[in-house]
């Protein structure tokens, strides 16, 4: 998984510093939203030829890493 995460980059000059795939203008959040919207990896790859299957796996690995929080505290109202 560590190697997969190397595909995720953060650059303030690209997409306002959001995590992107390999420095391309594909935010990780966009790829995750496509997957959540029931697009298959094959459909995503067909629509975005710059992407590779490993990029999609890297987005999932990135999301898994972010979701492994120990505790969520409510925000103050």
The model's pTM: 0.83
Q: Which domains does the chain have, with CATH numbers?
A: 2-67 (1.10.10.10)
State the burial class of residue 48 (Cβ atoms within 10 Å of its Cβ: 0-12, 13-18, 19+). Answer: middle
13-62 tens-digit pLDDT:
999 999 999 999 999 999 999 999 999 999 999 999 999 999 999 999 99
């Amino acid at each position: 998984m560590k190697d997969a995460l190397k595909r995720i980059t953060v650059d303030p000059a690209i997409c306002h510093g959001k995590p992107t795939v390999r420095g391309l203008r594909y935010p990780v959040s966009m790829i995750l939203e496509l997957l959540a919207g029931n697009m298959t990896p094959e459909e995503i790859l067909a629509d975005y030829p710059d992407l590779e299957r490993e990029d999609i796996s890297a987005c999932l690995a990135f999301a898994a890493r972010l979701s492994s929080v120990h505790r969520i505290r409510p925000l103050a109202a």
